[in-house]
Amino acid sequence: MRSKPRVLAIVLAGGEGKRLMPLTQDRAKPAVPFGGTYRLIDFVLSNIVNSGYLKTVVLTQYKSHSLDRHIAKTWRMSSLLGNYIAPVPAQQRVSKDWFSGSADAVFQSLNILDDERPDIVLITGADNIYRMDFSQMVEQHIEEGVGMTISGIRQPIEMSTSFGVIDTDPNNQKKVREFLEKPEQVDGLPDSPNEILASMGNYVVTADALYEALHEDAENPDSNHDMGGDMVPKFVENNDCGVYDFTFNDVPGATDRDRNYWRDVGTIDMFHEANMDLISVNPIFNLYNDKWPLYTGYTGLPPAKFVYGHRERLGHALDSIISPGVIISGGEVIGSVLSPHVRVNSWSSVRDSVIFDGVQVGRNATVVGAILDKYVTVEEGAQVGIDHEHDRARGFHVSESGIVVVPKGATVRMH
The confidence band for 92, taking pLDDT boundaries of 50, 70 and 90, is low
**Bridging pattern class, strands 148-156 and 241-245:** parallel
Beta strand extents in 246-303 (DSSP E only): 262-264
Query: How far, in Å, CA of 283 to CA of 259, rounded?
Result: 11
What value does the mean pLDDT take over residues 101-125? Answer: 85
Q: What pLDDT is stored for residue 275 in this prediction?
A: 95
pLDDT at 369 over 90: yes
Q: What is the rounded distance in angstroms from the CA atom of residue 52 to the CA atom of residue 322?
A: 31
| Overall average pLDDT of the 364-393 stretch | 96
Q: What is the pLDDT of residue 1?
A: 41
Q: Is residue 165 within 8 Å of residue 121, measured between CB atoms? A: no
User: Tens of pLDDT along 296-351?
Assistant: 987 788 999 999 877 778 899 999 999 999 999 999 999 999 999 999 999 999 99
Q: How far apart are CA 403 and CA 105, in angstroms?
A: 33
User: Whole-number mean pLDDT of the chain?
Assistant: 89
pLDDT per residue as tens digits for the range 273-304: 999 999 987 888 999 999 999 999 877 889 99
Bridge partners (DSSP) listed for residue 85: 56
Are 367 and 401 in contact, with CB atoms under 8 Å apart? no
pTM, 2 dp? 0.92
Q: Is the dihedral of CA 391, 394, 399, 404 positive or negative?
A: negative
Instruction: Mention every residue, 6+ apart, whose C-beta is less than 8 A from residue 118.
Output: 5, 6, 7, 8, 55, 207
What CA–CA distances, in Å, run from 96 to 91, 100, 384? 9, 11, 45
Tell me the mean pLDDT in the region 393-411: 95
Predicted pLDDT at 312: 78
User: Which of 97-106, 306-315, 376-385 is modeled with the greatest confidence?
Assistant: 376-385
How far CA 94 is from CA of 102, 251, 323, 357, in Å, comes to 15, 39, 44, 39
3-state SS class at 150:
strand
**Long-range interactions of 246-251: CB distance < 8 A, separation 24+:** 246/132, 246/151, 246/152, 246/153, 246/154, 246/200, 247/153, 247/154, 248/136, 249/132, 249/133, 249/136, 249/137, 250/133, 250/136, 251/131, 251/132, 251/133, 251/289, 251/292
Q: Are 167 and 189 in contact (CB under 8 A)?
A: no
